[in-house]
Protein backbone atom coordinates (compact mmCIF):
# COMPACT_ATOMS: atom_id res chain seq x y z
CA UNK A 1 0.00 0.00 0.00
CA UNK A 2 1.50 3.33 -1.06
CA UNK A 3 1.22 6.10 1.51
CA UNK A 4 -0.17 9.22 -0.17
CA UNK A 5 2.08 12.24 -0.47
CA UNK A 6 0.85 15.81 -0.76
CA UNK A 7 3.58 18.33 -1.55
CA UNK A 8 3.11 22.09 -1.58
CA UNK A 9 5.33 23.88 -4.07
CA UNK A 10 5.31 27.52 -3.00
CA UNK A 11 7.28 28.55 -6.09
CA UNK A 12 8.62 32.12 -5.66
CA UNK A 13 6.18 33.11 -2.92
CA UNK A 14 6.46 33.72 0.79
CA UNK A 15 8.48 35.50 3.43
CA UNK A 16 9.85 34.59 6.85
CA UNK A 17 6.61 35.80 8.41
CA UNK A 18 4.56 33.74 5.95
CA UNK A 19 6.60 30.65 6.86
CA UNK A 20 6.07 31.15 10.59
CA UNK A 21 2.34 31.80 10.19
CA UNK A 22 1.95 28.76 7.96
CA UNK A 23 3.73 26.59 10.53
CA UNK A 24 1.47 27.96 13.28
CA UNK A 25 -1.59 27.02 11.23
CA UNK A 26 -0.26 23.46 10.84
CA UNK A 27 0.38 23.28 14.58
CA UNK A 28 -3.24 24.26 15.24
CA UNK A 29 -4.55 21.61 12.83
CA UNK A 30 -1.91 18.92 12.24
CA UNK A 31 -2.37 17.03 8.95
CA UNK A 32 -3.77 13.50 8.88
CA UNK A 33 -1.05 10.96 9.76
CA UNK A 34 -2.10 8.69 6.86
CA UNK A 35 -0.54 11.19 4.45
CA UNK A 36 3.04 12.36 4.02
CA UNK A 37 2.99 16.15 3.80
CA UNK A 38 5.86 18.03 2.28
CA UNK A 39 6.48 21.75 1.84
CA UNK A 40 8.81 23.20 -0.78
CA UNK A 41 9.52 26.86 0.02
CA UNK A 42 11.97 29.09 -1.83
CA UNK A 43 15.41 27.83 -0.83
CA UNK A 44 16.16 30.90 1.31
CA UNK A 45 13.29 29.88 3.62
CA UNK A 46 14.13 26.20 4.00
CA UNK A 47 15.88 26.73 7.30
CA UNK A 48 13.17 29.02 8.65
CA UNK A 49 10.62 26.35 7.78
CA UNK A 50 12.70 23.58 9.34
CA UNK A 51 12.85 25.51 12.61
CA UNK A 52 9.19 26.53 12.46
CA UNK A 53 7.78 23.01 11.92
CA UNK A 54 10.12 21.29 14.40
CA UNK A 55 8.20 18.53 16.15
CA UNK A 56 5.56 18.34 13.43
CA UNK A 57 5.63 15.50 10.93
CA UNK A 58 6.16 17.75 7.91
CA UNK A 59 8.71 17.02 5.22
CA UNK A 60 10.81 19.84 3.82
CA UNK A 61 12.17 20.12 0.34
CA UNK A 62 13.95 22.41 -2.08
CA UNK A 63 12.42 23.37 -5.42
CA UNK A 64 15.74 22.85 -7.15
CA UNK A 65 19.31 21.81 -6.40
CA UNK A 66 22.41 21.76 -8.58
CA UNK A 67 23.97 18.62 -10.01
CA UNK A 68 27.47 19.40 -8.76
CA UNK A 69 28.66 19.16 -5.16
CA UNK A 70 30.37 22.56 -5.22
CA UNK A 71 32.26 24.84 -7.55
CA UNK A 72 32.16 28.01 -9.58
CA UNK A 73 28.38 28.13 -10.16
CA UNK A 74 27.36 31.61 -9.08
CA UNK A 75 23.84 31.76 -7.71
CA UNK A 76 23.42 28.01 -7.50
CA UNK A 77 22.87 25.80 -4.46
CA UNK A 78 24.22 22.27 -4.05
CA UNK A 79 22.10 19.35 -2.82
CA UNK A 80 24.23 18.92 0.31
CA UNK A 81 23.64 22.59 1.14
CA UNK A 82 19.86 22.28 1.17
CA UNK A 83 20.27 19.06 3.15
CA UNK A 84 22.35 21.06 5.61
CA UNK A 85 19.48 23.56 5.98
CA UNK A 86 17.05 20.79 6.90
CA UNK A 87 15.59 19.67 3.57
CA UNK A 88 15.29 15.96 2.82
CA UNK A 89 13.52 16.26 -0.55
CA UNK A 90 14.02 18.18 -3.76
CA UNK A 91 12.13 18.72 -6.98
CA UNK A 92 13.95 18.10 -10.24
CA UNK A 93 12.84 19.16 -13.68
CA UNK A 94 9.81 21.28 -12.86
CA UNK A 95 8.41 22.47 -16.18
CA UNK A 96 9.00 26.09 -15.17
CA UNK A 97 12.71 25.25 -14.96
CA UNK A 98 12.73 23.10 -18.08
CA UNK A 99 11.12 25.95 -20.04
CA UNK A 100 12.60 28.97 -18.26
CA UNK A 101 16.06 27.77 -17.29
CA UNK A 102 16.86 25.51 -20.20
CA UNK A 103 16.93 22.29 -18.16
CA UNK A 104 17.31 19.31 -20.47
CA UNK A 105 16.27 15.71 -19.79
CA UNK A 106 19.93 14.82 -19.19
CA UNK A 107 20.47 17.67 -16.75
CA UNK A 108 17.33 16.70 -14.84
CA UNK A 109 18.67 13.13 -14.67
CA UNK A 110 21.98 14.47 -13.33
CA UNK A 111 20.08 16.45 -10.69
CA UNK A 112 18.16 13.37 -9.57
CA UNK A 113 21.38 11.39 -9.31
CA UNK A 114 23.15 14.17 -7.38
CA UNK A 115 20.18 14.49 -5.04
CA UNK A 116 20.35 10.81 -4.12
CA UNK A 117 24.11 11.06 -3.63
CA UNK A 118 23.55 13.89 -1.12
CA UNK A 119 20.84 12.02 0.79
CA UNK A 120 17.90 13.94 -0.70
CA UNK A 121 14.84 12.26 -2.19
CA UNK A 122 14.12 13.70 -5.63
CA UNK A 123 10.67 14.20 -7.09
CA UNK A 124 11.09 14.31 -10.84
CA UNK A 125 8.50 16.36 -12.68
CA UNK A 126 7.37 15.22 -16.11
CA UNK A 127 4.64 16.51 -18.38
CA UNK A 128 3.76 17.62 -21.84
CA UNK A 129 2.86 21.06 -23.20
CA UNK A 130 -0.51 21.77 -24.76
CA UNK A 131 1.05 21.73 -28.24
CA UNK A 132 2.57 18.32 -27.52
CA UNK A 133 -0.76 16.96 -26.30
CA UNK A 134 -2.59 18.33 -29.32
CA UNK A 135 0.04 16.79 -31.58
CA UNK A 136 -0.62 13.40 -29.97
CA UNK A 137 2.84 13.14 -28.46
CA UNK A 138 2.01 13.55 -24.75
CA UNK A 139 2.86 9.94 -23.89
CA UNK A 140 6.09 9.97 -25.87
CA UNK A 141 7.24 13.19 -24.18
CA UNK A 142 6.50 11.93 -20.68
CA UNK A 143 8.19 8.58 -21.32
CA UNK A 144 11.23 10.31 -22.83
CA UNK A 145 11.56 12.52 -19.73
CA UNK A 146 11.17 9.51 -17.44
CA UNK A 147 13.52 7.26 -19.40
CA UNK A 148 16.34 9.80 -19.17
CA UNK A 149 16.15 9.67 -15.38
CA UNK A 150 15.69 5.90 -15.18
CA UNK A 151 18.76 5.38 -17.38
CA UNK A 152 20.86 7.49 -15.03
CA UNK A 153 19.83 5.96 -11.69
CA UNK A 154 20.78 2.70 -10.01
CA UNK A 155 17.82 0.30 -9.59
CA UNK A 156 17.84 0.93 -5.83
CA UNK A 157 17.53 4.66 -6.49
CA UNK A 158 14.84 4.30 -9.13
CA UNK A 159 12.65 2.44 -6.64
CA UNK A 160 13.05 5.42 -4.27
CA UNK A 161 12.17 8.00 -6.92
CA UNK A 162 8.93 9.96 -6.74
CA UNK A 163 7.40 11.04 -10.03
CA UNK A 164 5.11 14.04 -10.47
CA UNK A 165 3.04 14.15 -13.64
CA UNK A 166 2.37 17.82 -14.27
CA UNK A 167 0.87 18.57 -17.67
CA UNK A 168 2.17 22.05 -18.49
CA UNK A 169 -1.24 23.17 -19.77
CA UNK A 170 -2.76 22.44 -16.34
CA UNK A 171 -0.24 24.40 -14.26
CA UNK A 172 -1.65 27.62 -12.86
CA UNK A 173 -4.40 27.65 -15.46
CA UNK A 174 -7.34 26.29 -13.48
CA UNK A 175 -7.62 23.68 -16.22
CA UNK A 176 -7.01 20.42 -14.33
CA UNK A 177 -6.46 17.19 -16.23
CA UNK A 178 -9.51 15.00 -15.84
CA UNK A 179 -9.04 12.10 -13.44
CA UNK A 180 -9.17 9.77 -16.45
CA UNK A 181 -6.51 11.74 -18.36
CA UNK A 182 -4.25 11.78 -15.32
CA UNK A 183 -4.81 8.11 -14.52
CA UNK A 184 -3.99 7.13 -18.10
CA UNK A 185 -0.62 8.87 -17.86
CA UNK A 186 0.09 7.61 -14.34
CA UNK A 187 -0.65 4.05 -15.45
CA UNK A 188 1.70 4.49 -18.38
CA UNK A 189 4.44 5.78 -16.09
CA UNK A 190 4.00 2.89 -13.67
CA UNK A 191 4.09 0.43 -16.54
CA UNK A 192 7.35 1.92 -17.76
CA UNK A 193 8.84 1.76 -14.27
CA UNK A 194 7.78 -1.90 -14.05
CA UNK A 195 9.95 -2.66 -17.08
CA UNK A 196 12.96 -1.86 -14.88
CA UNK A 197 11.63 -2.53 -11.41
CA UNK A 198 9.11 -5.33 -11.83
CA UNK A 199 6.69 -5.58 -8.92
CA UNK A 200 8.62 -2.86 -7.05
CA UNK A 201 7.09 -0.31 -9.41
CA UNK A 202 3.95 -0.68 -7.28
CA UNK A 203 5.76 1.05 -4.41
CA UNK A 204 6.76 4.18 -6.39
CA UNK A 205 4.57 7.18 -5.70
CA UNK A 206 3.27 9.06 -8.71
CA UNK A 207 1.83 12.48 -7.89
CA UNK A 208 -0.43 14.60 -10.06
CA UNK A 209 0.15 18.33 -10.34
CA UNK A 210 -1.68 21.08 -12.20
CA UNK A 211 -4.48 23.19 -10.70
CA UNK A 212 -5.19 20.77 -7.85
CA UNK A 213 -7.69 22.30 -5.41
CA UNK A 214 -9.74 21.10 -2.44
CA UNK A 215 -12.64 20.87 -4.88
CA UNK A 216 -11.07 18.50 -7.41
CA UNK A 217 -8.60 16.54 -5.26
CA UNK A 218 -10.91 13.71 -4.16
CA UNK A 219 -11.80 12.73 -7.72
CA UNK A 220 -8.13 12.63 -8.69
CA UNK A 221 -7.11 10.62 -5.62
CA UNK A 222 -9.81 8.04 -6.32
CA UNK A 223 -7.80 6.86 -9.33
CA UNK A 224 -5.65 3.77 -8.86
CA UNK A 225 -2.28 5.24 -9.77
CA UNK A 226 -2.66 8.77 -8.38
CA UNK A 227 -0.79 8.67 -5.09
CA UNK A 228 -1.04 12.30 -4.09
CA UNK A 229 -0.47 15.75 -5.48
CA UNK A 230 2.12 18.39 -6.15
CA UNK A 231 0.16 21.53 -5.38
CA UNK A 232 1.10 25.06 -6.41
CA UNK A 233 -1.38 27.89 -5.85
CA UNK A 234 -3.63 26.03 -3.40
CA UNK A 235 -0.64 25.21 -1.18
CA UNK A 236 -0.19 28.87 -0.25
CA UNK A 237 -3.17 28.76 2.11
CA UNK A 238 -2.76 26.25 4.92
CA UNK A 239 -6.49 25.55 5.16
CA UNK A 240 -6.71 24.71 1.44
CA UNK A 241 -3.64 22.49 1.57
CA UNK A 242 -5.06 20.70 4.63
CA UNK A 243 -8.30 20.01 2.77
CA UNK A 244 -6.30 18.39 -0.03
CA UNK A 245 -4.43 16.33 2.58
CA UNK A 246 -7.77 15.28 4.08
CA UNK A 247 -8.97 14.15 0.65
CA UNK A 248 -5.81 12.05 0.24
CA UNK A 249 -6.34 10.51 3.69
CA UNK A 250 -9.91 9.61 2.82
CA UNK A 251 -8.88 8.05 -0.50
CA UNK A 252 -6.25 6.03 1.32
CA UNK A 253 -8.84 4.76 3.82
CA UNK A 254 -11.15 3.72 0.99
CA UNK A 255 -8.30 1.89 -0.78
CA UNK A 256 -7.41 0.02 2.40
CA UNK A 257 -10.99 -1.11 2.92
CA UNK A 258 -11.41 -2.40 -0.65
P1 LIG B 1 -0.73 24.95 -9.65
O2 LIG B 1 -1.29 24.01 -8.58
O3 LIG B 1 -0.70 26.36 -9.20
O4 LIG B 1 -1.37 24.70 -10.96
O5 LIG B 1 0.84 24.55 -9.81
C6 LIG B 1 1.17 23.23 -10.03
C7 LIG B 1 2.64 23.10 -9.95
O8 LIG B 1 3.34 23.52 -10.83
C9 LIG B 1 3.19 22.45 -8.76
O10 LIG B 1 4.54 22.16 -8.91
Per residue in 238-257, pLDDT tens? 999 999 999 999 999 999 99
User: Which pLDDT score, from 0 to 100, does residue 190 have?
Assistant: 98
Confidence of residue 151 (pLDDT cuts 50, 70, 90): very high
8 Å CB contact between 147 and 192: yes
Residue range 155-191, pLDDT digits in tens: 899 999 999 999 999 999 999 999 999 999 999 999 9
> What is the 3-state secondary structure of the chain?
CCCCEEEEECCCCCCHHHHHHHHHHHHHCCCCCCCEEEEECCHHHHHHHHHHCCCCCEEEEECCCCCCCCCCCCCCCCHHHHHHHCCCEEEECCHHHHHHCCCCHHHHHHHHHHHHHCCCEEEEEECCCHHHHHCCCHHHHHHHHHHHHHHHCCHHHHCCCEEEECCHHHCCCCCCCCHHHHHHHHHHHHHHHHHHHHHHHHHCCEEEECCCCCCCHHHHHCCCCCCEEEECHHHHCHHHHHHHHHHHHHHHHHHHHC
Whole-number Cα distances in Å, 211 to 69, 85, 201, 238: 34, 29, 26, 16
User: Which pLDDT score, from 0 to 100, does residue 200 have?
Assistant: 96
User: Which pLDDT score, from 0 to 100, does residue 25 have?
Assistant: 98
The angle at the Cα of 63, spanning 237 to 3, to the nearest 5 degrees, equals 70
8 Å CB contact between 218 and 245: no
Residue range 27-50, pLDDT digits in tens: 999 999 999 999 999 999 999 999
Whole-number Cα distances in Å, 240 to 123, 148, 158, 217, 234: 22, 34, 32, 11, 6
User: Which pLDDT score, from 0 to 100, does residue 168 have?
Assistant: 97
**Beta-bridge mates of residue 67:** none
| Mean pLDDT to the nearest integer, 102-110 | 97
User: Which pLDDT score, from 0 to 100, does residue 258 have?
Assistant: 85
Pocket of ligand 1 contains residue 211 by CB under 6 Å: yes
Residues in the chain: 258
27 burial type by CB count under 10 A (0-12 exposed, 13-18 middle, 19+ buried): middle
User: Which pLDDT score, from 0 to 100, does residue 1 have?
Assistant: 81
CA of 221 to the centre of ligand 1 (A): 16
pLDDT higher than 90, residue 224: yes
User: Which pLDDT score, from 0 to 100, does residue 31 have?
Assistant: 95
CA of 72 to the centre of ligand 1 (A): 31
Interatomic CA distance for residues 88 and 61, integer angstroms: 6
User: Which pLDDT score, from 0 to 100, does residue 155 have?
Assistant: 81
% of the chain exceeding 90 in pLDDT: 98
Q: Look up the pTM and report it.
A: 0.98
Residues with catalytic roles: 94, 166
Confidence of residue 52 (pLDDT cuts 50, 70, 90): very high
Residue range 68-101, pLDDT digits in tens: 999 999 999 999 999 999 999 999 999 999 999 9
CA of 8 to the centre of ligand 1 (A): 9
Choosing from 91, 233, 236, 237 the residue with most ligand 1 atoms within 8 A of its CB, the one to mutate for a pocket test is 233
CA of 71 to the centre of ligand 1 (A): 31
CA-nearest residue for atom 2, ligand 1, is 232
Interatomic CA distance for residues 32 and 196, integer angstroms: 33
The ligand 1 atom at the shortest distance from the C-alpha of residue 170 is 4
CA-nearest residue for atom 7, ligand 1, is 232
Amino acid sequence: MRKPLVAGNWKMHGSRTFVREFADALRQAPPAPEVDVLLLPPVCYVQELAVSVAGLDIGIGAQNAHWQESGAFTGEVAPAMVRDLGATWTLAGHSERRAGCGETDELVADKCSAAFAAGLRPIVCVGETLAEREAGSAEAVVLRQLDAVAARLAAGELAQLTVAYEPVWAIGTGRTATPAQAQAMHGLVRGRLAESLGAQAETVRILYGGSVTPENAAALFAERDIDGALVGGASLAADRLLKIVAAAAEASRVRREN
